[in-house]
Amino acid sequence: MSKPTNPPCGGPRPGAGRPPGEPTKVIRLPLRLVPAVQALASAPPGVRMPHPAASHLALPMFGHKVRAGFPSPADDYVEAWLDLNEHLVTHKDATFFVQATGDSMTGAGIQEGNLLVVDRALEARHRDIVIAVVDGEMTVKRLDKRRGRIRLLAENPAYAPIEFQDGQELTVWGVVTSVIQRFKR
């Protein structure tokens, strides 16, 4: 019995075998993690890569530089950003903005072009500034309810009060809670 001889074409093949240098290990990964792992591998040592599916996280901002030794005494007082909506809008779903035109309410500080914040959730009371519907038009006036008599007053002597007769119904569209006047853009 003769031993099988190796084929003559044998011998070391270039590139075969374990690569020289650092030892390696084969691992199995879900395909979706491949980019993250590659990024991690190519990052300089010590750099932490964010998880690819990381979601946004808002953190409070501290308004001082880090200094060794003394923590800022203000750190205990980190507060929320002041939001004008919160200041001006009480009933979000019932609040509308309208633009004032004309000069009938200048005495109340409402100028042409001002933005009015209107809250429909409020019941209109005597002396409130309201948006009312008169003859199908929306108008801003001061509501005057005295001795069972309802009137809409302008805040400008050039305009006569709007009187409501018996049986004539006043429709209040909403109550004006603020006026916003910009001086500069």
Partner 1 sequence: MTFALVDGNNFYVSCERVFNPRLEGRPMVVLSNNDGCVVARSAEVKALDVKMGMPWYQLKDLAARHNILALSSNYPLYADMSNRMMGVLGSYSPEQEIYSIDECFLRLDGFAADGLAAMGQRIRRQVRQWVGIPVCVGIAATKTLAKLANHCAKKNLAGADGVCNFGQIRADELTALFDRIQVNEVWGVGRRLTGTLAGMGIATVRALRDADPALIRREASVVLERTVRELRGVSCLALEDVAPNKQQIMSSRSFGEYVYALADLEQAVSTYCARAAESLRRQRSLANAVQVSIRTNPFSERQPQYQRGITVPLTQATSDTMRLTRAALLGLKRIYRPGFAYQKAGVMLMDLHSEDQVQGVLFAAAAPARPALMDVIDRANARWGGGTLKLASEGVKKPWQMKREWVTPSYTTRWDELPRVS
The DSSP H or E segment spanning 34 is: helix 34-42
**Based on CB atoms, which residue is closest to partner 1, 39 or 78?**
39
Q: Which span sits near partner 1 by CB under 8 A: 7-15, 18-26, 81-89, 114-122?
A: 114-122
CA distance 36 to 86: 42
CA distance 82 to 75: 18
76, 93, 166, 169: which one binds partner 1 (CB under 8 A): 93
Residue 104 catalytic?
Answer: yes
* Residue 152 sits in the site that holds partner 1 (CB under 8 A): no
Q: How many CB atoms lie within 10 A of CB 49?
A: 13
72, 90, 101, 181: which one binds partner 1 (CB under 8 A): 101
**Based on CB atoms, which residue is closest to partner 1, 139 or 150?**
139
Contacts of residue 180, defined as CB under 8 A and 6 or more positions apart, other chains included, come to 88, 114, 115, 116, 117
Residues forming contacts to partner 1 in the complex (CB under 8 A) are: 31-32, 34-35, 52-53, 91-94, 96-102, 104, 115-116, 120-121, 131, 133, 136-140, 171, 173
